[in-house]
Amino acid sequence: MREIAGSPRVLLRRLRELMAEALEPQERLDRIVREIAQNMVAEVCSLYVLRADGVLELYATEGLNPGAVHLAQLQLGQGLVGTIASSARPLNLQDARKHPAFTYLPETGEEIYSSFLGVPVLRAGRTLGVLVVQNKTHRHYGDDEVEALETTAMVLAEMIASGDLQRLTPPGMELDLSRPVSMNGVPFNEGVGLGHVVLHEPRIVVTNLFNEDVDDELRRLEHSLGSLRLSIDDMLSRRDVAIEGEHRAVLEAYRMFAYDRGWVRRLEEAVRNGLTAEAAVEKVQSDMRARMMHMTDPYLRERMNDFDDLAFRLLRQLMGHGPEALGASLPKDAIIVARSMGAAELLDYPRDALRGLVLEEGAVTSHVVIVARAMGIPVAGQVKGAVSMAENGDAIIVDGDEGTVHLRPQSDVEAAYAEKVRFRARRQELYRELRSKPSVSKDGVQVDLLMNAGLAVDLPQLAECGAAGIGLYRTELQFMIAATFPRAEAQEVLYREVLDAADGKPVTFRTIDIGGDKVLPYFRGAEKEENPALGWRALRLTLDRPGLLRTQVRALLKAAGDTELRVMLPMVAEISEITQAREIIEREVRHLARFGHILPNSLKLGAMIEVPSLLFQLDEVMQAVDFVSVGSNDLFQFVMAADRGNALLADRFDPLSVPFLRVLKQIVDAGHAAATPVTLCGELAGRPISAMALIGLGFRSISMSAAAVGPVKAMLTELPVRDLQERFGQMLANGGAQNDVRAFLKTFAEEHGVPL
């Protein structure tokens, strides 16, 4: 292909040569703006760079007063340049002085120029500066010229991001790329982590920007797009959604984007303008992100994440990168930053290197958060923009107590949090001292503090935290991280390991609870449910597919030979479901006995109370089972008709409200009347203030994450339970406002010196 003077390809070739020369940063910038001006037949070309203090500083110019370089400055939003930087959109004007945002800077001498074309210098959708060309005549720059200037701005973005221009900034001043940023989110798991950023899906760095052969690059792009489309089609056809940790609707959106001709055309145009296929993907991705960030439609803004993920996949296809080995070359103080991730993906990282987790999405009851809580990792969620603002290796602090994240923190902030970590370490030492002591209140009331678990990684924490046993073992996690249904032998081995690790302490196994938001990629469930949380899941699924339940029950019975076996049924809605499940269990007992297997010396069957229909059958439930356990997470969402995974509702309803606490009291009172043990195993048990409320209601057995046992026991040992129960009961009977509950508990704790 013959190169035409003044074409984008000629300009990119000249820029590539300039980037390769051994030049001082200022000289390189000066020559770059000169080349751009000559190529575009412009009388002015200027580069403004965004500093950490929000000021756009003139770093280089051809045509304006050279004495204004590093002196001319504009605030974000000020003037045409500031408007472009704040909006991340180009401006193409025939008469710049008539634009309402025009600001005259006398030191530049730009008043004689009429036409104006300015584009943002973008990297991953983030504005780093503004590139401008100007002419004296009233002219409208064509689309090809806008495209050429945007492509050139991308090259300059990489130059800024490399740190090369930092040498031109005054002492004590930094460019925007390295400025400290504090972001507010939602606290998902308490604790404080100081460390360095590890992007869960790190942006692939494109180093080869300029192509040598347009046709060859177009062929590479077409081949990679084909491979990408095939991989997405394969995921959809194999229902491989859960392996990727994404919903099927997202994959449908991926497929829509992957076949979108407009997107492909923009990629091809960028290649024809001289970029490599990889650089074209990064440029189009950055442009798209900048445009979509300013859309007000929440659905369209959400599609931005779909587009980002698709572009990352295409980049990996082009660069021949397979799935990256998570944990390879991790810093010893890694804090994972991700848009979202699955529980199994978190477990791919080595535990001893993890210091925290930051999520842009998710909810406090997401499975990855539950696993992180079991691992004792602080988590901040719904931290919007965390991925695009962070770079691998950036210093970062995650405060799981407040839900805040400090990226590239200043030294005084870091010092304050380091002291907070030391203070928490001293508290943890106190908790370790308590682990061997009985969980008895200040006035002698025994409360069993149990631990939730679901994977082998949880088991060592049983002894370390001093829990009285495992109140909830989530057997479905073994199924969720496997590629196929675990065979009966594998299940038996795991269940025996759990019982051995418990060393005589009670363990309650919940039968497989899949369906809803817990999807197995290898299991063909319901085709599509309008509301999967209320659909074909948990016990109702395994009763319809009894082979699943029979296999699991047989493995549990064999693993618990000559010990006690506690089995709990999830999502029970009617007494008849308990009867059906009991018949399956008894049939397996008879089968194993016939073949001489050693059976458990005690078999206890329990039911989870999480469906509101059981509230109207409490007396019958208490007679039908040996114990019950309240699943407060699901019960709360069903009672309040509030999807626990919906971020818009995450803080709308308080579990420590009079209506829900009355529901819980109704359950525990029914258990006491029937002499049926009642445990609560949900998020409510894991925080001292809500555990205090449960104890005040009459619960004497609660199950929580291992990390929560110490703080709850420290609270319990100072708590006068009988006094609390009397006053708390009076308050609930009088029907105080929702906010009064927390205020009451905090006041009671302060009066009695109870640590919360």
Distance of alpha carbon 693 from alpha carbon 742, whole angstroms:
9
Q: Which stretch of DSSP H or E encloses residue 336?
A: strand 334-338
Give 509-554 pLDDT, tens digit per residue: 999 988 765 666 567 665 667 777 788 888 998 999 999 999 999 9
Quote the pTM value.
0.55
What would the CATH number be for the domain defined by 8-178? 3.30.450.40
pLDDT for res 48: 94
Segment 684-704 shows an average pLDDT of 95
E-only strand ranges, 432-529:
448-453, 470-474, 507-510
Distance of alpha carbon 715 from alpha carbon 704, whole angstroms:
14
Give 616-671 pLDDT, tens digit per residue: 999 999 999 999 999 998 899 899 988 766 667 767 888 898 999 999 999 999 99
End-to-end CA distance of the chain: 72
pLDDT band at 432 (very low <50, low <70, confident <90, very high): confident
Would you kindly state where each structural domain of the chain is located, as residue ranges? Answer: 8-178, 181-202+325-424, 214-319, 443-752
Distance of alpha carbon 422 from alpha carbon 419, whole angstroms:
5
Give 334-365 pLDDT, tens digit per residue: 999 987 776 556 766 777 889 999 998 777 76
Distance of alpha carbon 619 from alpha carbon 673, whole angstroms:
9
Amino acid at 616: F
181-202+325-424: which CATH number, 3.50.30.10, 2.60.120.620, 3.30.1360.10, 3.40.50.880?
3.50.30.10
Counted residue by residue, the chain has a size of 756
Mean pLDDT of the chain: 83
List Cβ<8 Å contacts ≥24 apart for 420-427.
420/192, 421/192, 421/194, 424/191, 424/192, 427/711, 427/714
Question: How is 606-665 classified by DSSP, letter by letter?
Answer: EEEE-SGGGGGSHHHHHHHSSEEEE-HHHHHHHHHT--TT-GGGTTTS-SSSHHHHHHHH
As its CATH architecture, domain 214-319 has: Orthogonal Bundle (1.10)
Are 588 and 543 within 8 A, CB to CB? no
Query: From the CB of residue 735, how many other CB atoms can be counted at a distance below 10 Å?
Result: 10
Of 65, 683, 593, 656, whose CA–CA distance to 374 is shortest?
A: 683
Q: Which stretch of DSSP H or E encloses residue 219?
A: helix 214-237
Q: Which residue has the tokens 């995974």?
A: 645
Give 306-342 pLDDT, tens digit per residue: 566 677 778 877 877 644 444 456 888 999 998 777 6
Give 261-279 pLDDT, tens digit per residue: 777 888 898 888 888 888 8
CATH topology of domain 443-752: TIM Barrel (3.20.20)
